[in-house]
Chains A and B, each alone.
Chain A
Amino acid sequence: MIESYKGKIPDLLIEEFEKISKEDNLTKIQKEAVLKALEKRYDSYKVNPGEAVGIVTAESFGEPGTQMTLKVFHFAGVSELNVTVGLPRLIEIFDARKEASTPSMEIYLKKPYNKDIKKAKKLAALIKEVKLRELSNEFLINIIKGHIEISLNKRNMRDLGIKDDLMINSLKNKFKKTIVRKSAGGNIIIKPEGETILKDIYKLKEKVKETFIRGVEGITQVLPIKQNNEFVILTMGSNLKEVIKLDLVDETRTISNNIFEVASVFGIEAARESVVYEAKKVIEDQGLDVDVRHILFIADLMCSSGVVKGVTRSGVTSEKESVLARASFETPLKHLVNAALSGEEDFLNSVVENVILNQPVPLGTGLPGLVATMKKNVK
């Protein structure tokens, strides 16, 4: 019986109905009656063809946008990491910026490790990016010998469990044209090959400081926290591609807040989900209530071409067919000039062009036309 309603009523509603009818022990006749009523109600709740759902969505974001705070950072809970929230974050998402201003990740662990705080902490330590400057006290330039002497911070090295062999190897790999060796005093000495001037050594010193030793590049801070009965690692900085390669990491749930990264690692469908997830987080965080449909709508628009496009003049808007529609948004000259070159024709299919020409707009009540057979003029 329920089968026959599939396709007529959305699956989600049917599932919910099945759940509730089981709880309430509905009889077959009752079920039938309810389903009939449900179908009728669903039909009456459907959108009208021609409805300008786009503008409704834009309004649903524009109006609460005025109520959002501009405050950039926030510290939820005890000591969470700073992330951009509110209006600036929403703008960032809809712009589809290549780099989020505060990239961060939520790293989930595979079962059963996700209940183990020790494992989580260990993993967190492994993920965190360690650079040479954190393991050293001083970088000294020996002008006479023309080398840099790095005095090591033994305590930090012990804490992080890093041996100086690893550091020497990393340095050797990064700086091919140098000689790296251990000094008598336990320090590391790095000397460029051949004749060099002092300026180059200074430059080298700065580069040496940033030498990557261990961890995942880009992850600058880690914080294991307990969330819904399991341990999750929050990070500052993001490197999805490398992190999901790690053994303990549950790659099915681990996410980054950088939409482009998600798109390049997991594909466009994941990016769409990511837009929805991030936008939803912002809205809920601000204590606002916007229906999911609106969020889905913008995510679909941004991703429907196969790549993530921002709601900007270089993104979604630039793909509009109509010259006048593009020109009336931003940089009108550019669009007019190019249109003339390629002899573009504007078929006045969308809204602004028709507003410009004082014609009915092809939306809502302006959409339907009347088809009538005219009597032939008999002469």
Chain B
Amino acid sequence: MEHVYKNINSISFGFFSPKLIKKMSSVKVVTPELYDKEGYPVDGGLMDIRLGVIDPGLRCKTCGSKLKECPGHFGYIELARPIIHIQYTKTILDFLRSTCKDCGRILLSDEELKLKLDSLKDIEKRYGLFFKRKKIKEIINSLKNLKKCPHCKAKQVNVKLERPLTFFEGDKKLSPIEIKTKFEKIPDEDTEILGLNPKYARPEWLILTLLPIPPVTMRPSITLDTGERSEDDLTHKLGDIVRINQRLFENINAGAPEVIVDDLWDLLQYHVTTYFDNTVAQIPPARHRSGQALKTLTERVKSKEGRFRYNLAGKRVNFAARTVISPDPEIKFNEVGVPKAIAYELTVPERVTEWNLERLKEFVKRGPKKYPGCNYVIRPDGKKKKITDETKEQLLEELQLGYVIERHIINNDIAIFNRQPSLHRMSIMAHKIKILPYKSFRLNPAVCTPYAGDFDGDEMNLHIPQTEEARAEAEVLMQVQTQLITPKNGTNIIGCLEDSVSGNYLLTKSMVFNKDEAVQLLFSIGVKKIPNFNNVVEGKEIFSSVLPGDFEYIGKTKDNDDVIIKKGKLIKGYIDGASIGEERGNLIRKLHRDYGEDVALDLLSKLFRLGIKALFYKGFSTSLKDIDLKQDILIRIRKLLKDSEDGVDELIKTYNAKKLEILPGKTAEESLELLILQTLNKVRNKIGEIIGESLNEENPLRIMFHSGAKGSILNLTMMASSVGQQALRGKRIRHGYDGRTLSLFKKGDLSPRSRGFISSGFKKGIDPVEFFFGSMTGRDSLMDMALRTPKSGYLYRRLANALQDLKVEYDYTVRDANKTVIQFKYGEDSIDVSKSEKGTIDIRNLIREVIGK
């Protein structure tokens, strides 16, 4: 099928004039009945089949098409009396106030009018519509209180709007008919100054005399299981309108008393108002018989579930899959393991050419039930044929140049992989497909960071691009290696983590292998060029043989020791998180700059596996005895705790004696609390220091936090010795009973224990009181999390909405969609953060490279 591509250039907004409403209508609706006895739509009813069809089998009387082909057609009803459009009450008020009540001219002399119109045009041309609207508002405000018409000299009366719908001129109520006749008198030029475009809108059109009836396709009825029909909310509302309208007509024609006519008129006004908007203040919403408010036009458009955000800005796609993710360190970073069950369903269209005819025939031959097969064949005329056992032979016969087959995805096809919430661009990356058994998507644990995913049940989405263009774009711009550096701050988002870091740390620090092991280790991570090792191989040598031969690097470890790599050899220092970790791996950053993204990704994946495989030779685990402390250390810690508690007691004593030095800007109580908090926080740090000193270099926990793989000395302190002060909102815990936190304490007790200091460690176990305080802060942080997520989500949405149109132009200026300059040079130097080295160019490094210093 040849597509005809049409581009929409622009969309105009405007009003339906009564004339146009009539012209575009196919039906004049006159009866509130929907169906006749046979269940066939009534002519002139709201479900008239000239309005479009929603029943399979019927044909639209207007265009003759069937269900799904006919887009539906508008109808109209003639309102017995004019009705005010609820969305325009403000505009109507503005018009009533700014024009003369007698002659209908604007309350400006002709000269002023001309002057103001010119300035408005100028403003629109120079600053845009937004500022024009502001100016118009000013003009309207200036006209509000004029007492005399400059044209006919008639005295003006103040017009008021009694919400929601009644207008008063002085004390006289204005009926919509009167308003309409007033508006008809206003000349086109005068409406312009109030912001109307005479081409699209006339003020009298704001008062409805004809009401367009939307096509039935827009308000389809549902057939329930019982065979009963359930109508859409809009149909219900329109039914009400038509019914009251007919009644009003009859009463007027019968010459009914004015009271009755006015009542019906008000009722009609109510129905039309709620038809447009069922959430107007002071108007009771129209309800179903069940009491549920109807969802009318405004509610359809509004909010997150409305037309705009749900259907228009959000699209649903085919060729997508979703399942649980699980780790597989053996696949490459830019691969994704796809279960075979999914491969049967997801397809890639491939056009039959001279060169692939035979290959593609094989796919068709296997059909949809044998992998890798083919689900559909598309003929050049666009007809899509499903391959089944019956059609297979014939389609195979038929297959020729120009046909397209939709074959199953196979290894190395490109796919787009995504995990919500897609907070940054690394949340959607392109991967190469690798078909694997079982039922979950497999990804390398190193790419968890960019997706912010883990394997505790997370699910992810996979999309298969369907055109060459899309595939090329995904492959060139979206693959994992192109996203190594985050545009947030120019550091590497993908790096080694956890075991891989501690593995590399141990390898380069202390491990020694024999020759066989070394060769085996290197080969297992995919290094093909293995150097001539001696019989005893140091870990550093193994690490070095992964690096390119000409690699130069000078860096620091986490503890500020030097790391030097010369000519691809690690000659000084050891490797830790600061070299290869995520968001701080300077070594990886350098590899990326020197050798490009493809090589960097390859090396990174080798280093990643090297760390893990290296641990296989040594074994790495931790146990309770790793947090055992020696007796003398325990004594020192106990003394420290005692000292600090004494210190706190001392503080409380001085406070009670009113001798405490008050800190500037604080009360005595606040000063005391602050000082106590400081003392207690100091203890934990001091304990940490003591424990840190006492730790054996071989201690796995020490290795973990020292290498930057996970955790910190603080975690160890909490396990081994003391959990520390529990703080709520930056203060010690003070809630609970009158003057105390728990009923077992004395009133006014300010001691550490009664205010949430946990002196036991997790290993020894914490007592009930301490546990209670711990759970308090735990709950607080849960709450914090739950409240923060929507807040930051909204900030992000607003930022994204305000910034999404801004782009760098060809002249390197940053402009928005109206081409207004926001920045003359992006970031004042045009440097792309995701290409830069932490936002700049490292000149020292450059000099070293150029002149080898």
Interface residues of A (CB under 8 A from B): 10, 12-13, 16-17, 20-21, 24, 26, 30, 33-34, 37-38, 41-42, 44-66, 68-71, 73-75, 78-79, 81, 87-88, 90-91, 94, 221-224, 289-294, 296-298, 300-301, 304, 311-312, 315-325, 327-329, 332-333, 336-353, 355-359, 362-365, 367
Contacts and interface: CB of A to CB of B under 8 A. Distances in A.
Interface in B783-800: 784, 787-789, 791-793, 795-796, 798-800
A10 B829 contact: yes
A55 B664 contact: no
Contacts of B817: 320-322, 325, 349-351, 362
Contacts of A61: 795-796, 799
Given A54-B807, A75-B730, A345 B799 contact: no
Contacts of B267: none
Given A62-B792, A356-B312, A348 B730 contact: no
B87 A343 contact: no
Given A49-B812, A338-B133, A346 B88 contact: no
A319 to B, nearest CB: 5
Interface stretch (B60-68, B169-177, B732-740, B819-827): B819-827
Contact of B840 (A13, A301, A324, A356): A13
Contact of B804 (A45, A75, A346, A352): A352
Contacts of A78: 663, 674
A73 B842 CA distance: 38
Interface string B805-834: 111111010101110111100111111111
B402 interface: no
B774 interface: no
B488 A71 contact: no
Contacts of B807: 50-54, 362-364, 367
Interface in B349-390: none
Contact of A333 (B15, B298, B829): B298
Given A61-B795, A293-B827, A53 B806 contact: yes
Given A45-B836, A311-B798, A290 B488 contact: yes
Interface string B422-447: 01110000000000000000000000
Contact of A359 (B7, B12, B425, B851): B7
Interface of B: 7-15, 87-88, 91, 128-130, 133, 195-197, 199-201, 277, 298, 301-302, 306, 308-309, 312-313, 315, 423-425, 473, 477, 487-491, 583, 663-666, 671, 674, 729-730, 784, 787-789, 791-793, 795-796, 798-810, 812, 814, 816-818, 820-823, 826-836, 838-841, 843-844, 846-847, 849-851, 853
A320 B803 CA distance: 11
30 contacts: A37-B849, A46-B812, A49-B808, A50-B808, A53-B814, A55-B800, A55-B804, A57-B803, A58-B799, A59-B424, A62-B796, A71-B730, A79-B665, A81-B665, A94-B798, A291-B487, A291-B838, A293-B828, A297-B826, A300-B822, A328-B312, A332-B308, A333-B302, A336-B13, A341-B15, A341-B201, A345-B11, A348-B11, A363-B805, A363-B807
Given A12-B829, A79-B666, A41 B14 contact: no
Contacts of A353: 11
Contact of A37 (B487, B828, B846): B846
B8 A359 contact: yes
Contacts of A355: 312-313, 315
Contact of B10 (A320, A345, A350): A345
Nearest to A19: B843
The A interface, classified by DSSP as helix, strand, loop or mixed, is helix
Nearest to A16: B843
Contacts of A350: 804-805, 816-817
A60 B424 contact: yes
A70 B787 contact: yes
Given A42-B831, A294-B833, A340-B13, 10 more contacts: A20-B844, A41-B846, A59-B800, A60-B487, A66-B792, A221-B665, A223-B665, A325-B805, A332-B306, A355-B312
A47 B487 CA distance: 11
A49 B809 contact: yes
Contacts of A37: 846, 849-850
A13 B843 contact: yes
A294 B792 CA distance: 17
B9 A347 contact: yes
B828 A44 contact: no
Contacts of B839: 291-293
Nearest to B847: A34
B313 A62 contact: no
A185 to B, nearest CB: 31
Contacts of A292: 827, 839
A130 B301 CA distance: 55
A291 B488 contact: yes
Contacts of A73: 729-730
A68 B792 contact: yes
Nearest to B806: A54
B309 A328 contact: yes
Contacts of A336: 13, 301
B708 to A, nearest CB: 16
Query: What 6 pairs between A and B have smallest CB-CB spacing?
Result: A62-B796, A343-B197, A54-B806, A343-B200, A293-B827, A54-B803
B802 A316 contact: yes
